[in-house]
Amino acid sequence: MSELTEIVDNLENRISKLLHKYEALRQNLGSLQYEMATLTSENTRLKEELENSEGRIQTLKAANAMLGSKDYKTETKLKINSLIREIDQCIVQLSE
């Protein structure tokens, strides 16, 4: 009978340890999920900020080229030509 009691006590101890480990892992999972959500939102914000910055860079390059800089003259000419084609397409659509 004492052997059976030992086995039951041993099982109770193991179950108790497993429950404590489970609870610790559950709490760790919760904190990791919160951290992941925070990092995901920060990542999204940084991507938007990068896109905005790239847009501003393109605008500044075009403005710089229009002011006489030779660095981005080709890019600016291509952009202007593209805009002219779009305007021509709009005129054609309006005249139909």
Please answer whether residues 64 and 71 qualify as being in contact, where contact means their C-beta atoms are separated by less than 8 angstroms. Answer: yes
Please answer whether residues 64 and 74 qualify as being in contact, where contact means their C-beta atoms are separated by less than 8 angstroms. Answer: no
Residue type, 27: Q
- Per-residue model confidence as pLDDT tens for the chain (96 residues): 688 888 999 999 999 999 999 999 999 999 999 999 999 999 999 999 999 999 999 888 877 777 766 776 777 788 788 889 999 999 999 887
User: If residue 10 lies in a helix (H) or strand (E), which one and from where to where?
Assistant: helix 2-66
Please answer whether residues 65 and 71 qualify as being in contact, where contact means their C-beta atoms are separated by less than 8 angstroms. Answer: yes
- Report the pLDDT value the prediction gives residue 1, as an integer from 0 to 100: 67
- Report the pLDDT value the prediction gives residue 69, as an integer from 0 to 100: 67
User: If residue 22 lies in a helix (H) or strand (E), which one and from where to where?
Assistant: helix 2-66
Tokens representing 27? 């709490």
